[in-house]
Amino acid sequence: MPNTNTSLEKQNPTYSSSDLYEAYSLAYEQMADTSTMLGAISNEFKNLKDYLGKVYDIPDCCFNDLKRIIAITNTMIQESADLSQNLEQQYQAEAEYEESQA
């Protein structure tokens, strides 16, 4: 008869607060980097929109959908970064507490 406890442990490993702190710390860093890149994309978009408006007389309203998509994406990234940062801080505090109790 197989040892079911061992197979369950392999399927459902347990993670410490320190592990979760590191994971959410990495997630926050990645969201911050993504936010920076989206900011660069947004700046390039604005410059291109201004250029096309001046040189080819393309009205701003032609770019409203892309501007809206960039704004929505920025909001999603910010919300994800905020969540990751909050969880990072929570698990950091738990990890420090666990470390002090050891």
Give DSSP secondary structure letters for 69-96.
Answer: HHHHHHHHHHHHHHHHHHHHHHHHHHHH
**Contact (Cβ atoms closer than 8 angstroms) between residue 70 and residue 76:** no
Residue 41 CA to residue 48 CA, distance in Å, equals 10
Question: How does pLDDT run across 6-62, given as a tens digit for each residue?
Answer: 666 678 889 999 999 999 999 999 999 999 999 999 999 999 999 999 999 999 999
| pTM of the model as a whole | 0.82
Question: How does pLDDT run across 48-94, given as a tens digit for each residue?
Answer: 999 999 999 999 999 999 999 999 999 999 999 999 999 999 999 99
